[in-house]
Amino acid sequence: MSDHSRLEAVIAPGYTLTSVTDKIGDIVTKDPIRKGWVGGLFLGFIGLQLFLMTVLMLFEFGVGIWGINIPVGWGFDIINFVWWIGIGHAGTLISAILLLFRQDWRTSINRFAEAMTLFAVACAATFPLLHMGRPEVGFYWVAPIPNVMGMWPQFRSPLMWDVFAISTYGTVSLLFWIVGLIPDFATLRDHADKAWKRNIFGVFAMGWRGSAIHWGRYETIYLILAGLATPLVLSVHTIVSFDFAVAQVPGWHTTVFPPYFVAGAIYSGFAMVLTLMIPLRKFYKLEDFITMRHLNTMAKVMLTTGLIVAYGYLIEGFMGWYSGSVYERYMLLNRFIGPYAPYYYALLACNVLIPQCLWFRSCRRNIPLLFVMSLVINTGMWLERFIIIVTSLHRDFLPSSWGMYYPTIFDWSMFIGTMGLFFSLLFIFVRILPVISIFEMRVLLSEEAHKKSGGSHA
């Protein structure tokens, strides 16, 4: 055990099995309701109301309340959709893929990241429904329901694939999360101070007694779900990218989209985890469990995926030029000198230029800087979707049909509203469920202790 690895501990020294349980479990069971939490939930709740109001306006007047038009048929609706679904990638990646790769540092962040995933997917999932002109029929016509008309969805459409990809991803993520929660539900059941709490946690614990058979089944199902979720991490954003890549609009019709979208999704997902994790660990004093090691590693993942995204931009540009197509070349030119050029430069700054400082360890260990960086990357990834959708559509083949897209107040209220939805769910989550997996931390603790006392594998 070197000095270096002690510095990089995934859990601070001095914890016992009991103190881990108390430290995490008490947030749910004992901690008094704090003013900060109430304030945060209140803000989230305001945002949620904004969301509901916008949806009401949307149903009353139609999608015309947004700034979309012909030629720009998709605007903030699809930008937000792709942005949220991208954010929803980090959780499953951390839980499933890192589990399979036996990255033990994932333990203290996976629960939280998974919850964030689910909430982000919930936000994202509103848009495929709400962006439709007629959601009242659209929500079931895109599903393959046998009917007397013999009408099926049109299976060649990427939007169709989207429906399957997202619903599958959402379902598997939810299952994965709930299964992972069962042992902790049991802990809380045993830990709770009031009978009604014990009853509720008891129902969700599904009779968990911690027997060896339970643990054996748990390990099996968790591994199977991890196996199922792993390809989904890659497939969901691949299919989301097909919404664009399958179309023939210059700026969309690109083979680099699937890998570049997946990398971008992980990029923004990790950024969002950092955005949320840094205040959370401070607020609930979880610095001992979410250590510098975690932040450092996540910064490295961001740096890597950021470079892949940068490569994507490069290839996009190269292919636009190399294709020799006047439309592709104009699309490229339009990004650099067109009316939306400032946003493109902002995107390059946020996603490519600024994150390069993550090469330096001092930056990766500077928590305020990391927090700012995560915000910058989230902004950059949102801008990326804006650039892809709006600048490609607004000037395509026939100059006569060129137009501009200006978001309206309802575009913004919808966007801010989904954040309200997201934060409302998140704030409720941190109060009613353990934000860190208790039992996995205990496992980790014993493994760490084992390592210290003679170290089998090192």
Partner 1 sequence: MNETKLWKSLEEKAAITAGGAPKADSHDRFNPFSNDFLSRREFLEWSGGMAAVLGAAGCTRQPNEKMIPYTKAPERVIPGKPLFYASAMSLGGGSLGLLVESHMGRPTKIEGNPEHPTSMGATDPFAQASVMGMYDPDRSKVLIQNGQVTFWGNFSTQIAALMAMHRAKKGQGLRILTENVISPSLGAAIGELLKTMPEAAWHQYEPINRDNEIDGLKQAFGKSVTPWYDLKAAKVLVSFDSDLFGDLSGVRYSRDFAEGRAIATGKKDLNRFYALESQPTVTGSIADHRMPARVGDIESMAAALAQKLGLGVSGKPELNPEQRKWVDAIAEDVQANKGQSLFIAGRWQSPAVHSIAHALNASLGNTGKTVRYLPTIEIRADKNSDSIKSLVSAMGSDQVETLVILGGNPVFDAPADLGFVNALEKVKTRIHSGLYLDETGSKCQWHIPEAHYLESWSDLRAHNGVSTIVQPTIAPLYGGKTHLEVIAAIAGKGDKSSYDLVREYWKSQLGGDFETNWRKAVQDGVVEKSAGGGESVAVQGAANWKWTPNTGELDIQFRPDASVWDGRFANNGWLQETPRPLTKLTWDNAAVMSPNTATKYGLKNEMLVDLQVGEDKVRVPVWIQPGHCADAVTLHLGYGRRMAGRIGNQVGVDVYPLRPSTATWLRPGATIKATGSTYALACTQSHQNMEGREIVRHATLATFLGNPTFAQHHEHLPKNVQGLDVGTAGGEYAPKAEADYQWGMVVNLGSCTGCNACVVACQAENNIPIVGKTEVTRGREMNWLRIDRYYEGDGENPVAHHQPVACVHCETAPCEVVCPVGATVHDNEGLNNMVYNRCVGTKYCSNNCPYKVRHFNFFEYSDMTTPQLKLGRNPDVTVRSRGVMEKCTYCVQRISAARIEAKSENRKIRDGEVKTACQTACPTQSIVFGDISDPNSQVSKLKEASLNYSLLGELNTKPRTTYLAKVSNPNPKLEAKQPEQGAHHE
Residues that bind partner 1 (CB under 8 A): 57, 61-65, 67-74, 131-135, 137-138, 141-142, 151-154, 156-160, 163, 243, 246-249, 326-327, 330, 393, 395-404, 406
Residues 197/203/207/212 CA torsion (nearest 10 deg): -70
Nearer to partner 1, 245 or 430 (CB): 245
CB of 180 to partner 1, least distance (A): 33
Nearer to partner 1, 52 or 409 (CB): 409
Nearer to partner 1, 296 or 408 (CB): 408
Residues 18/22/23/24 CA torsion (nearest 10 deg): 110
Q: Give Cβ neighbours of residue 183 (< 8 Å, ≥ 6 apart).
A: 208, 210, 218, 438, 439
CB of 139 to partner 1, least distance (A): 8
Rounded to the nearest 10 degrees, the angle between the axes of helix 257-283 and helix 107-130 is: 120
CB of 236 to partner 1, least distance (A): 17
Nearer to partner 1, 145 or 449 (CB): 145
Other Cβ atoms within 10 Å of 42 Cβ, number: 12
Rounded to the nearest 10 degrees, the angle between the axes of helix 257-283 and helix 212-245 is: 130
Q: Give Cβ neighbours of residue 31 (< 8 Å, ≥ 6 apart).
A: 284
Nearer to partner 1, 3 or 60 (CB): 60
Is the sign of the CA dihedral 218, 221, 222, 223 positive or negative? positive
CB of 405 to partner 1, least distance (A): 8
CB of 248 to partner 1, least distance (A): 5
Nearer to partner 1, 137 or 223 (CB): 137
> What are 72's two structure tokens?
């720009």
Nearer to partner 1, 281 or 395 (CB): 395
What's the one-letter identity of residue 90? A
Nearer to partner 1, 39 or 339 (CB): 339
CB of 148 to partner 1, least distance (A): 15
CB of 78 to partner 1, least distance (A): 9
Other Cβ atoms within 10 Å of 360 Cβ, number: 10
Phi first, then psi: what are they for 324, rounded to 5°? 75, 0
CB of 282 to partner 1, least distance (A): 43
CB of 103 to partner 1, least distance (A): 38
Q: Give Cβ neighbours of residue 412 (< 8 Å, ≥ 6 apart).
A: 76
Give the Cα separation of 255 and 235 in Å (integer).
15
CA dist list (Å): 312 to 86, 305, 316: 16, 10, 6
In degrees, rounded to 5, the angle at the alpha carbon of residue 198 between the alpha carbons of residues 197 and 200 is 65
Nearer to partner 1, 37 or 161 (CB): 161
CA dist list (Å): 458 to 2, 88, 102: 10, 34, 15
Contact criterion met (CB below 8 Å) for 439 and 187:
yes
